[in-house]
Amino acid sequence: MLLTALVLIVLAVFILESFVDYLNQSRATEALPAEVADLYDITDRERSIAYGAERYRVGLYSSAISTAILILALTQGWLAKIDNWARTFTSTPILISLLFIAALSLISWLIDLPFGLYSIFSIEARYGFNKVTAKTFIADTVKGAMVSVLIGGPIVALVIWLYQSFEDRFWLYGWLVVAIFSLIMFMFGTRVILPLFNKLEPLRDGELKAAINSYCHSQGYSLTRLFVMDGSKRSTKANAFFSGLGRSKTIVLFDTLIEKLNTEEIVAVLAHEIGHYKRKHTLAIFVVSNIQTIVIFSLFGWLLGYSELSTALGAQERSFHLSAVTFFILLGPLQVFLGLINNSLSRRNEFDADSFAKSTYRAKPLAEGLRKISKDALSNLTPHPLYVAFHYTHPPLAQRLRALK
């Protein structure tokens, strides 16, 4: 019964997401909105459509295969087999769980690998975006795995230990661990984790730095942590972001952004990033994600008590990790819903940061900068509204330009 429900949920989420992707793809050749009608010449438009179509196809194959494997794993008792395998090494429950999670992560990484390799080294390369070398790819993979093991491992172990020791208050302690960890990441992620993968350097003195300083001065924003990051190590696509809370506030500009945009456009992008700080967006995201974590841990703590969550997958006895797999599948529809809320909140923040840049600097260079970034990345200018709701953390370009007018 529970197993049937799990399979149906996995299928339903797959069908829903594929349908949204299909809707988006079917609008790819639609007439461009007036604001962006002149962005692409005919060749660029064709390239943009072809690029979108290739990414759509590989995404569909990838999710179809992962879904099929997951359904097989559920119905054929493969997860219970991995659980039994982990039990051959140790009888300590936390270690069994860690081994199980490590094995499952490795398997899902292997399933995604061919699609990831094809996306980076074939699609992105053919459209001239990819800068990832085999060496960078391997280094990224090794470092990513080490970060997961060294940081993720102890946190998962702590959460499991908390469940074993304080089942009644698990929701509270589990949430606290995640909240403290995400606070640390919010504050120190760009200091500790990001430099493992990228080179961050202070902006060199010159015209751009002078223009940025004078804008920041006019806004009373103390620019302590502004970095230029070697985004060009992986892709030609330009970007910038804000992160951190309070005094840990950090602005990162990609070197590709500095290369492609002129001084005024870069200052406008920076003004947008400062808008995220001034309008307290990171704080709002932190609060909202914590509320969601409490809800998820409350449900988790409650449902973990039912041994059916493990036995439905073919296990003889209850275990934290098998129950967690079942729980996260059951959570799928709620996660889709939370994703819609989070994306909509994020898009609202983007409009808000744009309006901050418009009122404290100027709209025109921001609009020009955004146009350049989108044109360069062969962005889809006619996304389906439902696809935007499901996937876009930033509003489509035409909407942003309209709002800036």
Applying CB under 5 A, the span of 155-163, 198-206, 345-353, 361-369 interacting with Zn ion comes to 345-353
Find out whether 28 and 52 touch, Cβ atoms under 8 Å: yes
What angle, 0 to 180 degrees and rounded to 10, lies between the N-to-C axes of helices 363-376 and 332-360? 130
Q: State the amino acid at position 203 in one-letter form.
A: L
Check 35, 124, 265, 354 and give the catalytic one.
Answer: 354
244: left (phi over 0), alpha (psi -120 to 50) or beta: left
Whichever of 17 and 265 has its CB closer to Zn ion, that residue is 265
Q: Which stretch binds Zn ion (CB under 5 A): 1-9, 94-102, 334-342, 344-352?
A: 344-352
Helices 170-192 and 153-165, axial angle in degrees (round to 10): 170
- What is the rounded CA–CA span in Å between residue 183 and residue 185? 5
Instruction: Determine contact, residues 83/319, Cβ cutoff 8 Å.
Output: yes
Q: Is residue 223 within 8 Å of 188, Cβ to Cβ?
A: no
Binders of Zn ion among residues 348 to 367 (CB under 5 A) are: 350, 353
Q: How far is the CB of 221 from Zn ion (least distance, A)?
A: 15
Of 56 and 286, CB closest to Zn ion:
286
Q: 380: helix, coil or strand?
A: coil
* C-beta of 164 vs 393, nearer to Zn ion: 393
Q: Residue 117 CB, nearest distance to Zn ion (Å)?
A: 30
Please identify, using beta-carbon distances, which residue of 274 and 329 lies nearer to Zn ion: 274
Distance of CA 299 to CAs 5, 75, 124, Å?
17, 24, 40
Of 69-108, binders to Zn ion (CB under 5 A) are none
Q: C-alpha dihedral over 118, 122, 127, 130, to 10 degrees?
A: 80
**CB 141, min distance to Zn ion, A:** 29
In the complex, minimum distance from the CB of residue 69 to Zn ion, in angstroms, rounded to a whole number: 36
Residue corresponding to tokens 């990228």: 198
User: Which is closer to Zn ion, CB of 17 or CB of 350?
Assistant: 350
CB nearer Zn ion, residue 312 or residue 366:
366
| Choice among 35, 83, 265, 273 that is catalytic | 273
Task: Please provide residue 346's backbone torsions phi and psi, each rounded to the nearest 5 degrees.
Answer: -65, -40
Least distance in angstroms from the C-beta of 276 to Zn ion: 6
Instruction: Examine the residue annotation and report whether 273 is marked as an active-site residue of this protein.
Output: yes
Q: What angle (nearest 5°) sits at the alpha carbon of residue 240, between those of residues 209 and 365?
A: 65
Is 368 an active-site residue?
no
Map the footprint of Zn ion across residues 271-330, applying CB under 5 A.
Answer: none
Cβ at position 394, least distance to Zn ion in Å:
7
What is the per-residue binding string for Zn ion in 217-246, x denoting contact by CB under 5 A?
------------------------------
DSSP classification of residue 312: T
> Catalytic residue numbers?
273, 354
Interface positions with Zn ion (CB under 5 A):
350, 353
